[in-house]
Amino acid sequence: MKISDLHKMESIVSSNPSLIWDGWNVVFLEKDQDASLKKNAAFIDSTWHKKVVFENTGGVWDIPDSILRKGDVQVR
């Protein structure tokens, strides 16, 4: 889903513990014990995570629906 409204994106990130901000980009983190062997790994709080960065491109974040929690955004 493409999201261009900053307030909507802030609401989504604050209500989803798997999402964090990295500058203007949104980062999805998922615990994964095998992540240390992968290119997109992050070691956070003594735990390995799979890390996916969604860059803000032209004022728009393109976040897959599978990552968004129900109720965060009205899916059209």
4 closest CA partner among 28, 18, 24: 24
Record the tokens describing residue 22, joined without a space: 């990295």
pLDDT band at residue 75 under the 50/70/90 scheme: very low
37: in domain: yes
Instruction: Examine the pLDDT at 6 and tell me if it is beyond 90.
Output: yes
75: in domain: no
List the domain range (segments joined by +) for residue 11. Answer: 2-62
Instruction: Examine the pLDDT at 57 and tell me if it is beyond 70.
Output: yes
With vertex at residue 55, the alpha carbon angle to CA 46 and CA 35, rounded to the nearest 5 degrees, is: 30
68: in domain: no
Instruction: Examine the pLDDT at 66 and tell me if it is beyond 90.
Output: no
71: in domain: no
pLDDT band at residue 25 under the 50/70/90 scheme: very high
Helix (H, G, I), strand (E, B) or coil at 69: coil
Instruction: Indicate the number of domains in the chain.
Output: 1
The mean pLDDT value of the chain amounts to: 89
CB environment 9-44: b (16+ within 10 A), e (fewer): beebbeebeebeeeeeebbbbeebeebeeeeeebee
